[in-house]
């Protein structure tokens, strides 16, 4: 369920985040991604690639996820942590008012929710890295990806995360897993498996995109090609969605797939020109409407 805040609520939340952002982001774990400016999945992918290329501490991986994180993250566990950092009573009152009707969860759709969710898990991030001394660790919102040569250490980390989440009334999903990262044996046989994290599939020598994302991109390309064959205009929303998804292709090793399934159907350069032209027309119409309103006034 996504809650749509009113304009007043949204305005107040943006004011709150302007003050909270340097506090939360400044104390966050370096490899905590999602919902932070300039710290999305692409930056996380680059960090993971560096670790894999170094070849150190990547023999085994463990992955886990929090079950219904936003629906079960309680504000009563977040508030004491905020009070340690914030001494302004009026500012705390504003945060309390925003979440008055949501004592047992962080509402999806609230701009404030994603920041408080990251703040709640900051302590766990540093415990995993500093206390458990896991070689490599990435958190993508409520998804944990850990790597270490010692498999027992990873299993102990899973148990520790379960216990820590229990203290704040959260549960780990039952599909957690620990596995050996893919490698080639002396007899030439490939064993182990790839790592699926942040929307990417990581191998030792390449990074590709998940299958459902590739299918989605190919489907949009076919729709645009159909419009082209019927000599109809390209929908602006479809064009922008296509260019946005092409960022996955650009930052992964899927160029050969692009040559087979996308390039014969549609030209990316032509779609970019169409978006530019439509945006210019929309801006021109907006300026004309503003001019007419000023003249009328």
233: left (phi over 0), alpha (psi -120 to 50) or beta: beta
Question: Looking at residues 221-238, what average pLDDT do you find?
Answer: 90
Q: Return the top range by mean pLDDT from 8-12, 161-165, 291-295.
A: 161-165
CA distance 119 to 54: 31
* Residue 91: its H or E element: helix 89-98
- Do the Cβ atoms of 5 and 108 come closer than 8 Å? no
Nearest CA among 50, 111, 101 for reference residue 75:
101
User: How confident is the model over 108-134, as pLDDT tens digits?
Assistant: 989 999 999 999 999 999 999 999 999
Rounded to whole angstroms, the Cα distance separating 194 from 203 reads 5
The neighbouring-strand residues paired with 138 are 145
CB 201 within 8 A of CB 210: yes
Residue 198 has pLDDT above 80, yes or no: yes
As a whole-number percent, the residues of the chain with pLDDT over 90 amount to 70
Contact indicator for 120, 77 with CB cutoff of 8 Å: yes
Contacts of 179 (CB under 8 A, 6+ apart): 60, 61, 62, 192, 193
| Sheet of strand 207-209: strand arrangement | 195-197, 200-202, 207-209
Q: How does pLDDT run across 167-189, given as a tens digit for each residue?
A: 999 999 999 999 999 988 888 88
């Amino acid at each position: 369920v996504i809650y749509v805040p009113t304009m007043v609520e949204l305005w107040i939340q943006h004011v709150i985040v302007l003050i909270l952002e340097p506090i939360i982001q400044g104390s966050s774990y370096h490899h905590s991604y999602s919902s932070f400016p300039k710290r999305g999945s692409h930056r996380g992918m680059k960090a993971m690639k560096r670790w894999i290329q170094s070849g150190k501490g990547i023999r085994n991986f463990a992955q886990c996820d929090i079950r219904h994180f936003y629906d079960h993250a309680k504000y009563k566990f977040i508030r004491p942590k905020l009070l340690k950092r914030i001494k302004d009573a009026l500012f705390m009152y504003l945060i309390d008012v925003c979440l008055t009707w949501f004592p047992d969860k962080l509402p999806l759709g609230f701009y404030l929710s994603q920041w408080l969710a990251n703040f709640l898990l900051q302590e766990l991030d540093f415990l995993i890295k500093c206390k458990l001394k896991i070689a490599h660790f990435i958190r993508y919102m409520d998804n944990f990806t850990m790597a270490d040569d010692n498999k027992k250490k990873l299993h102990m980390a899973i148990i520790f995360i379960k216990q820590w989440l229990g203290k704040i009334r959260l549960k780990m999903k039952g599909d957690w897993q620990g596995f050996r990262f893919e490698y080639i044996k002396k007899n030439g046989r490939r064993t182990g498996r790839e790592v699926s994290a942040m929307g990417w599939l990581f191998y030792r020598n390449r990074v590709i995109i998940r299958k459902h994302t590739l299918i989605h991109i190919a489907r949009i390309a076919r729709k645009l090609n159909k419009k082209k064959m019927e000599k109809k205009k390209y929908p602006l929303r479809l064009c922008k969605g296509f260019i946005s998804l092409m960022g996955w292709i650009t930052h992964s090793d899927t160029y050969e797939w692009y040559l087979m399934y996308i390039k014969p159907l549609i030209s990316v350069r032509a779609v970019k020109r169409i978006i530019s032209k439509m945006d210019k027309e929309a801006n021109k119409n907006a300026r004309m409407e503003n001019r007419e309103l000023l003249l009328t006034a």
